[in-house]
Amino acid sequence: MEDEPPPQGVSAKALEATLLSALKMLDVGKWPIFSLCSPEEIKLIRQACVFGSAGNEVLYATENDEVFVLGMNCSGCLGTGDMQSTIEPRRLDSLCGKKIACLSYGSGPHVVLATEEGEVYTWGHNAYSQLGNGTTNHGFVPCQVSTNLVNKKVIEVACGSHHSMVLTSDGEVYTWGYNNSGQVGSGSTANQPIPRRVTSCLQNKIVVNIACGQMCSMAVVENGEVYVWGYNGNGQLGLGSSGNQPTPCRIAALQGIRVQRVACGYAHTLVLTDEGQIYAWGANSYGQLGTGNKSNQSYPTTVNVDKDRVVEIAACHSAHTSAAKTQSGQVYMWGQCRGQSVTFPHLTHFACTDDVFACFATPAVMWRLLSVEPDDHLTVAQSLKKEFDNPETADLKFLVDGKYIHVHKVLLKIRCEHFRSILNNDDEIIEMSEFSYPVYRAFLEYLYTDNIRLPPEDAIGLLDLATLYRENRLKKLCQQTIKQGICEENAIALLSAAVKYEAQDLEEFCFRFCINHLTVVTQTQGFADMDHDLLKNFISKASRVGAFRN
């Protein structure tokens, strides 16, 4: 299809029409696993998450809220009911129609998903009860987690290697799963088979953001304080020590600093303040703290990202990579990047932090559920396309073969010289008998879209109309459609049309096609019914090009 130039004008009535949301296509081209999907499938994707030990699994949702998975299916993490890998997208019927709000995954892997209604579904690896269903049996299909979450709306989810955490709309945190280092915050190191609320010093706090490292957990409360618990062998809790923490503990070193977001890598932590500043701590063997060296830090340390205000931080518990985006749209990365150690924030050419993980993280997995945001703005051309045959905004009707086609006088006058000369302001209904309904509808739609949608046989009628109305560009489009749809059965009919409408280029094309398929074409009904003069000319011309030579 050609690019659509904006129309030269539009009626006030048409501009009053309601503009429906238009969604951009999600750019997933940098993630290798999407090479298994067809271009048609990719165009429909509106949400996606690449996960797994090597980025070999993916879940995605389409514009129709259908959910598909494909990949290796380790531990049944695709939720298809088995452990069979698949290179063809498989539909998860149990999740179709449920709008996905957020998703996270562990190392097993296991998957935790929340819907926009606040329901939680889990599946996959479950040796440590990380699915929250009270068992240690792997979950091969998505199952809702309801224990202790009844009447709770979950708005955020996070997974460590083998533990899970959710945040509810009323600011409560619930955890379950592996707890060898106190990462579920219960005060013990016993695994937790079902969701339980994290209390201790969070009891009367309203939490606004959560994150998990491999074996630690973090929560930001509404006043900007950060609470941490779990494994601390690399100083990833930011408490100035390396001892594990079995219950939430406030990071005292951030006193007076209001944190908005927290992000966890494998064993390092990033926070973003309300002033757009980054602090980092924890493991640093790949430079993932961005401090210019590879020394671990157990206290929060300032990360200098140019002089611009940072608006987004990114890290993933399966990688040693860090990324940030500034207010001006610049994206920086540091840490383990394609096997190299980048110890200072490095300015990239990317437009989003997601691309850092697609191209440089090991493994290449997503740090969040990647989503397309609705774009409520339509161009003039898109608006007009939606208004074709809309009775609510139209001020003129064509009656063709007993059917109405609703249009706008001003647009027809602007787009077509024929209508400019014949339309009157008092016209309300015009009867059309010269052309069929499909042909005339296609013509009017062309005036709104600059494109035609017709089978080649109907395109002959549209070619007749284009000739009558002196629409030269439309004639070219008709000829192109006819060329693309020619076959042995319709070749003679198309040739006859080309001759009738003096479309010399099309006539030559159809003639060559007939000669190249002469044996079959001469046995068709179209050849038997061929006009006598056209038949004589065809035989004469075919003879001149040697079609009947022995």
Domain extent listing, the chain:
23-198, 205-374, 380-544
User: Nearest to residue 73, comparing CAs of 93, 91, 51?
Assistant: 51
User: Nearest to residue 363, comparing CAs of 103, 109, 77, 56?
Assistant: 56
Q: Which pLDDT score, from 0 to 100, does residue 22 have?
A: 34
Q: Are 469 and 416 in contact (CB under 8 A)?
A: yes
| Integer angstrom CA distances of residue 120 from 114, 116, 210, 250, 319 | 4, 10, 16, 28, 25
Assign 221 to helix, strand or coil: strand
Whole-structure pTM value: 0.67
Distance CA 440, CA 39 (A): 32
First to last CA, the chain: 44
3-state secondary structure 175-237: EEECCCCCCCCCCCCCCEEEEEECCHHHCCCCEEEEEECCCEEEEEECCCCEEEEECCCCCCC
Distance CA 417, CA 538 (A): 36
Q: Which pLDDT score, from 0 to 100, does residue 379 have?
A: 84
**Per-residue b or e along 422-446, where b marks 16 or more CB atoms closer than 10 Å to that residue's CB:** ebeeeeeebebeebbbbbbbbbbbb
Phi and psi torsions of 209, nearest 5° = -160, 140
β-bridge mates for residue 123, sequence order: 111
Distance CA 74, CA 156 (A): 24
Residue 485 burial (CB count, 10 A): 15
Q: What is the side-by-side order of every strand in the sheet holding 100-105?
A: 100-105, 110-115, 120-124, 139-144
Give Rg (Cα) of the chain. 32
Q: Are 360 and 334 in contact (CB under 8 A)?
A: no
Assign 326 to helix, strand or coil: strand
Low-confidence ranges of the chain (pLDDT < 50): 1-23
Q: Which pLDDT score, from 0 to 100, does residue 443 have?
A: 96
Same fold, 23-198 and 205-374: yes
Q: Are 413 and 421 in contact (CB under 8 A)?
A: no
pLDDT digits (tens, 9 = 90+) for 457-512: 788 889 889 989 999 999 989 888 888 888 999 999 889 888 888 888 889 989 99
User: Nearest to residue 453, comparing CAs of 478, 435, 423, 432?
Assistant: 478
User: Residues with Cβ < 8 Å from 244, sequence gap 6 or more?
Assistant: 181, 182, 230, 231, 232, 233
| Integer angstrom CA distances of residue 528 from 228, 433, 513 | 86, 29, 17
Could you give the count of Cα atoms lying within 13 Å of 548 in the half-sphere of its Cβ?
8
| Integer angstrom CA distances of residue 72 from 49, 96, 107, 142 | 14, 21, 14, 17
What is the DSSP-derived secondary structure letter of residue 434? S
Tokens standing for 330? 């610049």
- Helices then strands, each counted (H, E), the chain: 14, 28
User: Nearest to residue 296, comparing CAs of 285, 280, 305?
Assistant: 285
Q: Which pLDDT score, from 0 to 100, does residue 21 have?
A: 33
What is the DSSP-derived secondary structure letter of residue 377? -
Architecture of the domain made up of 205-374: 7 Propeller (2.130)
Q: Are 248 and 227 in contact (CB under 8 A)?
A: yes
Tokens standing for 10? 């539009």
CATH 3.40.190.10 is the classification of domain 380-544? no
Fold of 23-198: Methylamine Dehydrogenase; Chain H (2.130.10)
Distance CA 538, CA 536 (A): 5
Tokens standing for 349? 């050419």
What is the DSSP-derived secondary structure letter of residue 499? H
Distance CA 39, CA 27 (A): 11
Measured over the CA atoms of residue 351, residue 353, residue 357 and residue 361, the dihedral's sign is positive
Burial class (CB in 10 A: 0-12, 13-18, 19+), 86: middle
Distance CA 111, CA 21 (A): 30
Assign 344 to helix, strand or coil: strand
Q: Are 216 and 183 in contact (CB under 8 A)?
A: yes
Q: Are 247 and 182 in contact (CB under 8 A)?
A: yes
Q: Which pLDDT score, from 0 to 100, does residue 1 have?
A: 35
